[in-house]
Every structure is written in C-alpha cells, then in structure tokens.
C-alpha cells in the first residue's frame, strides 16, 4: 500500500460552509450588540432595589421605636445588612445549553473539535461532569466522475461508537477550564438494517449523490474506510479498530458580564495526540485553536446560541490529504417551555479536515441536530439527540445539512 503526501494547499471554502458561517457570524454580531446595549439599562435597573431597602429599614426603625416606648433602642436593634446587588454572576440553567455533538465524519474525529457549549462559565469552585454515548453510521461512496472530471474513489462504510467523558471547573466569576477524552470503536455497527427501514419509512432516497448505487447494494455491517487516488494508489485503508481517542484541554473566558439573558465568551483549546494514528483513531499531532461563543434569550421560552472558530492542525504525516487548518461554526435555537424541558435545533459546520480528491466527498461537513434535554434535579440533567446529513433532503439544502454520517444518535448525562 502506497501513500500520497498530504495536500496542504490553501482551502477554497464551499458555498454551503460560507452560507452557514455567514449566518453564524451574523448571529454572533446581533447577540454581542444586544448585550452591549442592555448593560447600562440593566445596571440602572439593578440599583433601584437598594433605595427600596433603605425605605423598608426606615419603617422598621420607626416600628421598633414605638415598641420601645417612643425611643430608639440602638442596643437591641440589629444593624441592617446592605442590600445585595442584582448585578451578579448568574449560573445559567443547562436548558440554555446546546447539545454537545459535532459532525462525526471519521476524519473530523482525528483533530480538535470544539464541542458546543453555552457562553456562560461555571461558578467559581464548581465542578461539572458528563458522560456521553454517540453512535454514528457512515455510508459515503460518491461517484468518481464529478463535474466532468475523474476524482478519487472514496468508500466510507462503517459505524463509530464513542464513549466520551468530560470535566469542567469554574475558576473565577469569568473563567473556567475543562477536559474531554473518549473511547472509540470503529466497526460494522448495529444500525444498517434500522437505517434501511428508516429511509423506506420516510421515503428518503437510498441512492442519492452520496451513494448512487443505494444502501442495499453494499453488504451490511462491514467496516471500510478507504481512499484510492486517480493514479489507483490506495492512500487510506482501514477496517475495524478500538482505542483511546484524542484528548482536549480548554480554557474559557467570559467577555461580558451576564445580565439576565445574554453572554459572550472566548474559548481556547489544545488537542493532545492520545489516539493511535496507525489505526486512524488520532492524527499523531498537536492541534490548537480558538472560538467565540454567544447566546441570547428571548423572553422565558426561547434562546439563541452560536459560535465561530478556527483550528490549526499539526502536521499529520500518517494521514494523506490532512489540511493545515479548519474553520468551525455553530448556530441554533432552544425552546424551553418550562423549568425542566428543552427542545433544541442546531446546525454545525466545518471546512475540510482531510482532502480526499473526490469533489463531492470534499464538500463542507454540515450536520443538523434535533435534541431534547431534561433537567432531572438541581444537580443532574439528561439529554438525547439525533443528527442527519444531506440525505434528509437529498442534498438540496447544503447549508442546513450536507456531508457527514447518515445518522448519529447521542445520549448523555451531566451532574455536578
């Protein structure tokens, strides 16, 4: 098996990614502008309760004087405590948070991914823990002949099971740190028959541009990850594998004071190469990046969130076609009709992680996720979600969902 040298040329962003990221940037700008304009009014509103408290204290003084025979007993009357300010650090409910899942195409898992989070930070000294199971079923076998040109042969037919562990700790009123790691299984999986029935039930085409021959053409429950270039050289060939995935460390700093319903933050991350690059469970290199997060609540029932960032990837010599950097974005909306339930729709996108040489397979990775979150108690919450690629609309709306796993099922549990 021969290998081609990684193509580290500049990336021309596909239209779908440009449209999605443009919407993300617009959402971030709106949230930031709203946050800045609401700060003075919120501060003025927060000062009002102090005068009200002083009036209450004066009434209490007069009542105490009457009870003491018309005089003021300074020794028995306790000194009133200063009124607390309402400009305080707010620990947002988990109902405001996005679902912590990104596009799980096999090559995306090799590099730093900023898992979606809310823009708030944890209270100082608080520790949050989470465990999450993701099952992503891949089937991507596009035609080699695209737009009048022959390209590489791409065959991605497998399933990933990922068990991810995460920890976050609040350092101060504006800072927190975190860490995530995961166990990865790549195999034939369990969802092939279910997906065939799912596509048939909802009338989804099984022979779209991602797989012109149809899902039924291929043997079920196989594990293939392969790229053959135009010179008929097999540059990538992997079957089943199991092992530790990559490990990420993050630092988050809130940029604005939280006043009720809006927040922005900067997050920095670094990825350590703990996954095995020979098995294609990691890149074998260190990645680093940063992103801007924002959120804004509309009344009690709706909240919007978004993020935009960039990742610089280290030299992944064992992965032909690995790119030097990757742009990532996210936008979404959460509906929380009560104090315990939340329904989430979010779209995440990223530019190429690995260039295969197939024009269709090298389009932007875009996933649409539909999620549900349940607050079990003041210390625990549960969430579940499913994510779709362009099969949902036969690749007619690439800015909504495009290249990625056919279906990703996620479920997680958080506690502190």
Q: What angle do CA 303, 309, 311 make, to 5 degrees?
A: 145
For the chain, which residues make up each domain, given as ranges? Answer: 16-34+93-415
| Mean pLDDT computed over 295-300 | 89
Strands (E), 171-221: 175-187
pLDDT of residue 261: 80
CA quadruple 405, 21, 323, 182: dihedral, nearest 10: -50
Between CA 11 and CA 24 the distance in angstroms is 20
Kindly write down the DSSP assignment for every residue of 59-74, as one continuous string: HHHHHHHHHTTSS--T
In this prediction, residue 149 carries a pLDDT of: 84
| pLDDT the model gives residue 18 | 58
Helix or strand (DSSP H, E) at 307: strand 302-312
Whole-angstrom distance, CA of residue 405 vs CA of residue 273? 23
In the chain, % of residues over pLDDT 90: 67
Position with higher pLDDT, 391 vs 25 = 391
Q: Considering only 236-245, 339-348, 362-371, 390-399, which range has the smallest mean pLDDT? A: 390-399
Q: Which residues contact 131 (CB under 8 A, 6 or more apart)?
A: 163, 164, 165, 166, 412, 413
Class of domain 16-34+93-415: mainly beta
CA 263 distance to own-chain centroid: 17
pLDDT for 320 beyond 90: yes
Structure tokens at 183: 């166990």
* Residue range 272-293, pLDDT digits in tens: 999 999 999 999 999 999 999 9
* pLDDT band for position 63 (cuts 50, 70, 90): very low
Torsion over CA: 404, 405, 406, 409 (sign): negative
CA distance 402 to 187: 23
Q: For residue 10, is pLDDT > 50?
A: no
Q: What are phi and psi of 195, to 5 degrees?
A: -65, -40
Task: Give per-residue pLDDT as tens, 257-276.
Answer: 766 688 999 999 999 999 99
Rounded to whole angstroms, how far apart are CA atoms 24 and 332? 9
- Give the tens place of pLDDT for each residue, 331-388: 999 999 999 999 999 999 999 999 999 999 999 999 999 999 999 998 999 999 999 9
Model confidence, pTM: 0.80
Neighbours of 130 (CB within 10 A): 20
DSSP code for 135 = E
- The DSSP code sequence of 331-370 is EEEEE-SSSSEEEEEEEEEE--SB--S-TTTTS-EEEEEE
Q: Give start and end residues of each alpha helix (H) in 97-191.
A: none
Contact (CB, 8 A) for 32 and 262? no
């Amino acid at each position: 098996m021969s290998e081609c040298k990684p193509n580290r040329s500049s990336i021309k962003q596909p239209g779908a990614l440009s449209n999605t990221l443009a919407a993300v940037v617009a959402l971030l700008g709106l949230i930031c502008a709203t946050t800045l304009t609401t700060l003075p009014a919120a501060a003025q509103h927060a000062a009002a309760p102090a005068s009200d408290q002083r009036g209450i204290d004066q009434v209490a003084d007069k009542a105490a004087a009457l009870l003491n025979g018309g005089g003021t007993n300074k020794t028995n009357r306790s000194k009133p405590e200063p009124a607390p300010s309402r400009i305080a650090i707010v620990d947002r409910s988990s109902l405001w948070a996005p679902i912590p899942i990104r596009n799980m195409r096999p090559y995306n898992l090799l590099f730093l991914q900023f898992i979606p989070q809310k823009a708030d930070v944890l209270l100082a000294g608080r520790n949050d823990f989470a465990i999450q199971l993701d099952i992503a079923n891949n089937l991507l076998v596009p035609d080699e002949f695209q737009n009048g040109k022959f390209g590489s042969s791409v065959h991605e037919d497998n399933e990933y099971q990922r068990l991810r562990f995460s920890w976050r700790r609040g350092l101060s009123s504006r800072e927190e740190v975190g860490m995530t790691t995961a166990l990865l299984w790549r195999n034939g999986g369990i969802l092939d028959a279910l997906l065939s029935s799912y596509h048939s039930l909802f009338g989804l085409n099984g022979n779209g541009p991602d797989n012109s021959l149809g899902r039924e053409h291929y043997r079920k429950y196989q594990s293939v990850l392969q790229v053959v270039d135009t010179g008929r050289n097999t540059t990538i060939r992997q079957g089943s594998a199991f092992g530790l995935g990559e490990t990420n460390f993050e630092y988050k700093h809130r940029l604005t004071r939280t006043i009720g319903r809006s927040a922005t933050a900067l997050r920095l991350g670094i990825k350590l190469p703990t996954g095995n690059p020979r098995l294609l469970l990691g890149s074998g290199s260190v990645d680093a990046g940063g992103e801007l997060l924002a959120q804004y609540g509309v009344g009690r029932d709706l909240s919007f969130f978004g993020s935009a960032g960039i990742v610089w990837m280290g030299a992944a010599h064992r992965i032909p076609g690995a790119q030097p950097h990757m742009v990532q974005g996210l936008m979404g909306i959460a509906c929380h009709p009560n104090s315990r339930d939340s329904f989430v729709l979010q779209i995440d996108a990223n530019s190429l992680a690995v260039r295969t040489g197939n024009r269709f397979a090298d389009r932007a990775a875009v996933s649409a996720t539909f999620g549900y979150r349940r607050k079990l108690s003041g210390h625990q919450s549960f969430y579940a979600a499913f994510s779709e690629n362009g099969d949902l609309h036969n690749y007619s709306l690439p800015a909504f969902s495009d290249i990625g796993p056919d279906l990703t099922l996620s479920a997680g549990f958080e506690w502190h």
